[in-house]
């Protein structure tokens, strides 16, 4: 991931990265983001590379979700350029909360199964290989033993990891996670943070997550992007804090 405070820095960083043969999965240059032609965040320039673990830190209402919506192709940009080197079908998204009816009796595995719906036709029985994939992603998040449990009976941290498993069902190259460390206990935060590191180190996924808690982002991320009052910038890293 690259993000610089000035145009020269952005250009130079891009030249260095192209020289070593790597291509960004997502690249934004001087992008303005907002709604109804009213900008919320301006002059966003950053790139997201395979294997990167990027934390987006900013207060509530600063534009974190707006940026994610643009990266995911859900919000048109107001200016600048945004390019992707992979299909949007290679993006896994974990929302801040599940848009599911708590009164509908879904099991945890059925929620995870939803991640395969883009590959399965309507009213088609789930193929065996997709059922096997459910077991694999549940193993990745360490929750296979809870597959049959009602989703809404799980703890906050368990629900969050199940939603990560659902996103992994997409077979993504990049994961976008909106506040994955919020509303969970400290043990769950450590488990989720360890999982994000594992996905980048062992699977080579790019992970881009947000939080309003700067200290938490500093504990987890390899690179930190700050967003506030319509501005976005890269925070210089010191030695990583211990979780």
Predicted local distance difference test score (pLDDT) of residue 21 = 56
Question: Percent of the chain having pLDDT more than 70?
Answer: 86
Asked if 135 and 144 count as a contact pair (C-beta separation under 8 A), the reply is yes
Is the pLDDT at 197 greater than 90, yes or no? yes
| pLDDT for 3 | 42
Mind listing the pLDDT tens digit for each residue in 89-136?
999 999 987 667 777 889 999 999 999 888 776 667 888 888 999 999
Choose between 235 and 101: higher pLDDT: 235
pLDDT band at 46, cuts 50/70/90?
very high
What pLDDT is attached to residue 123? 67
Residues 15-45 pLDDT 10s: 334 444 579 999 999 999 999 888 899 999 9
Q: Are 33 and 63 in contact (CB under 8 A)?
A: yes
The pLDDT score that the predictor gives to residue 237 is 62
pLDDT higher than threshold 60 for residue 2: no
What are the structure tokens assigned to 63, written together?
Answer: 């534009």
**Token pair listed for 131:** 């059922």
Architecture of domain 53-73+89-235: 3-Layer(aba) Sandwich (3.40)
Instruction: Give 120-171 as a 3 state SS string.
Output: CCCCCCCCHHHHHHHHHHHHHCCCHHHCCCEHHHCCHHHHHHHHHHHHHCCC
Average pLDDT, the chain: 86
**Residue 235: per-residue pLDDT:** 86
For the chain, the domains span 53-73+89-235
Residue-wise pLDDT tens digits, 136-173: 999 999 999 999 999 999 999 999 999 999 999 999 99
pLDDT band at 10 (very low <50, low <70, confident <90, very high): very low
């Amino acid at each position: 991931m690259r993000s610089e405070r000035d145009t020269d820095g952005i250009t130079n960083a891009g030249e260095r990265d192209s020289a070593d043969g790597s291509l960004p999965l997502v690249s934004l240059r001087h992008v303005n983001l907002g709604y109804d032609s009213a900008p919320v965040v301006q002059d966003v320039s950053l790139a997201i590379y395979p294997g990167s673990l990027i934390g987006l830190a900013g207060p509530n209402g600063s534009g974190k979700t707006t940026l994610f919506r643009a990266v995911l192709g859900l919000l048109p940009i107001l200016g600048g350029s945004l390019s992707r080197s992979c299909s949007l079908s290679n993006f896994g998204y974990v929302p801040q909360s599940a848009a599911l009816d708590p009164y509908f009796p879904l099991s945890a595995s059925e929620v995870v199964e939803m991640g395969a719906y883009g590959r399965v036709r309507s009213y088609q029985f789930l193929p065996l290989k997709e059922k096997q994939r459910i077991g694999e992603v549940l193993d990745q998040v360490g929750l296979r033993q809870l597959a049959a449990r009602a989703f809404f009976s799980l703890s906050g941290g368990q629900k969050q990891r199940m939603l990560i498993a659902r996103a992994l069902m997409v077979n993504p190259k990049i994961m976008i996670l909106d506040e994955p460390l919020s509303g969970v206990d400290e043990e769950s935060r450590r488990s989720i943070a360890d999982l994000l590191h594992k996905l980048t180190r062992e699977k080579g996924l790019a992970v881009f997550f947000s939080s309003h808690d700067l200290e938490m982002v500093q504990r987890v991320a390899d690179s930190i992007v700050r967003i506030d009052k319509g501005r976005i910038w890269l925070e210089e890293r010191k030695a990583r804090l211990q979780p």
